[in-house]
Homo-oligomer: A and B are copies of this chain.
Amino acid sequence: MLNFTFHNPTKIVFGTESIAKLNKLIPAQARVLILYGGASAQKNGTLDEVKAALGQRLVQEFGGIEANPTYETLMRAVEQVRTEKLDFLLAVGGGSVIDGTKFVAAAVPFVGDPWTILSAGAKIESAVPLASVLTLPATGSEMNNGSVITRKETKAKLAFMNPHVFPQFSILDPTKTYTLPPQQIANGVVDAFVHIVEQYLTYPVGGMVQDRFAEGLLQTLVEIGPKVLAEPENYENRANLMWVATLALNGLIGAGVPQDWATHMIGHELTAQHGIDHARTLAIVLPSLLNVQRADKRAKLLQYAERVWQIREGDEAQRIDAAIRQTAEFFESLGVPTRLSAYGIGREAIDTLVSQLEAHGMKALGEHQNITPEVSRRILEGAL
């Protein structure tokens, strides 16, 4: 096991009727900005429920945060918080809204150009307190300190992490996911799955606990994956999906073990260039990456085959093949394609994707930093 520090101060308030608890969770004198995405938060009544729970507090709204939240949009929220002297940010939505809210929280008190938080890792000394009401289980942003923001004008998709932007609390009510479109739920399953794999399918360092936890989360996703789509109002399955997605990226399973994240970095370019949903890019890249990196990941791929997929027949290569195939079939069974061709993307697109990776400094990806642009090219070619 590698040395590590683990610290996650976010309070999780989980279950039915939990939005009403907002009144106790947010200071009585707070001047609140509610941040949200599209019309769904309004349509499904969550926004009204949140406002009702906030009672007599001063509350303003900022809607229109995009999937892949943009710097350009968020800077308007920063302006609103500064001008109106708001002092508590409440994200109501999924990972994009929460990621965006984290950036706003850090940018408001930032002295200088806030873009440097993303472009240059500028130091964040403080942030406006923030919290979330999660409506879409997927990214884990509700219980971590990471955020990914896109700059529209340059198509750059960049991340920052900072302890000041942990949500103070996050409310997770599984019934709020009942009305989500199936595609968003399927994306959430894939997103959580790949988050886990990025922290698990690396070289072994004796993190037995971390492995068991990762395998437990993956097994749960395999078990509930088809059901969360088939039975949208099955509370038990939606609750487990919500809790898995949070635990998939709250720092716990990645503490003390090597991490990969190459699938994410390559996937980001697919989103930036072709507008494919984040999770769907991961489903394209992961199976091919596991195949290309199978020598480096051999021990863990065999463990994954046995413990997650119960594959015990065949020689090592066959067991690894079967594990990768079952991973892809799992994604496909959720209606999530695993090939570039499903999006009409052919070999001609690969040069641009590889050069974009290079342009963004992604020249040595993976837990061994051996995924060069040439290896990324092979991964993309394997996913055609």
CB within 8 Å of B: which A193-225 residues: 206-209, 212-213, 215-217, 219-220, 223-224
Contact A7 B18 (CB under 8 A): no
Name the B residues within 8 Å of A236 (CB-CB): 1, 206, 208
Could you tell me the distance between the alpha carbons of A220 and B17 in the complex, rounded to whole angstroms? 36
Query: Knowing A213-B213, A220-B212 touch, does A5 contact B9 (C-beta < 8 A)?
Result: no
Contact digits for A1-35, partner B, Cβ 8 Å, 1 yes 0 no: 11111111111111111100000000000000000
Name the B residues within 8 Å of A244 (CB-CB): 209
CB within 8 Å of B: which A72-112 residues: none
Contact B1 A16 (CB under 8 A): no
Contact B1 A18 (CB under 8 A): no
Contact A7 B12 (CB under 8 A): yes
Contact B206 A212 (CB under 8 A): no
Contact A243 B220 (CB under 8 A): no
Q: Does A256 contact B (CB under 8 A)?
A: yes
Contact digits for A132-174, partner B, Cβ 8 Å, 1 yes 0 no: 0000000000000000000000000000000000000100000
Contact B223 A216 (CB under 8 A): no
Q: Chain B's nearest CB lies how many Å from the CB of A87?
A: 21
Contact B208 A240 (CB under 8 A): yes
Contact B16 A243 (CB under 8 A): no
Total number of A residues with any Cβ neighbor in B under 8 Å: 41
Name the B residues within 8 Å of A239 (CB-CB): 1, 206, 256
Nearest 3 CB-CB pairs, A to B? A3-B15, A212-B216, A7-B11
Contact B1 A5 (CB under 8 A): no
Could you tell me the distance between the alpha carbons of A212 and B256 in the complex, rounded to whole angstroms? 20
Could you tell me the distance between the alpha carbons of A206 and B244 in the complex, rounded to whole angstroms? 13
Q: Does A41 contact B (CB under 8 A)?
A: no
Please, could you name 25 A-B residue pairs with CB atoms under 8 Å apart, sorted by A? Answer: A1-B14, A1-B15, A1-B243, A3-B14, A3-B15, A3-B16, A3-B18, A4-B12, A4-B14, A4-B15, A5-B14, A6-B12, A7-B9, A7-B169, A8-B8, A12-B255, A14-B255, A206-B236, A208-B223, A208-B240, A209-B244, A212-B213, A212-B215, A212-B220, A216-B216
Contact A209 B1 (CB under 8 A): no
Q: Does A247 contact B (CB under 8 A)?
A: yes
- With a 10 A CB-CB cut-off, give which of A9, A169, A206, A212 has the most chain B CB atoms: A212
Contact B11 A209 (CB under 8 A): no
Contact digits for A114-131, partner B, Cβ 8 Å, 1 yes 0 no: 000000000000000000
Contact A219 B212 (CB under 8 A): yes
Name the B residues within 8 Å of A14 (CB-CB): 1, 3-6, 255-256
Of all chain B residues, the one with the shortest Cβ separation from A18 is: B3
Contact digits for A221-264, partner B, Cβ 8 Å, 1 yes 0 no: 00110000000000010011001100100001001100000000
Name the B residues within 8 Å of A6 (CB-CB): 11-12, 14
Name the B residues within 8 Å of A8 (CB-CB): 8-9
Contact B206 A240 (CB under 8 A): yes
Name the B residues within 8 Å of A207 (CB-CB): 240
Q: Chain B's nearest CB lies how many Å from the CB of A128?
A: 19
Contact A13 B9 (CB under 8 A): no
Could you tell me the distance between the alpha carbons of A17 and B3 in the complex, rounded to whole angstroms? 9
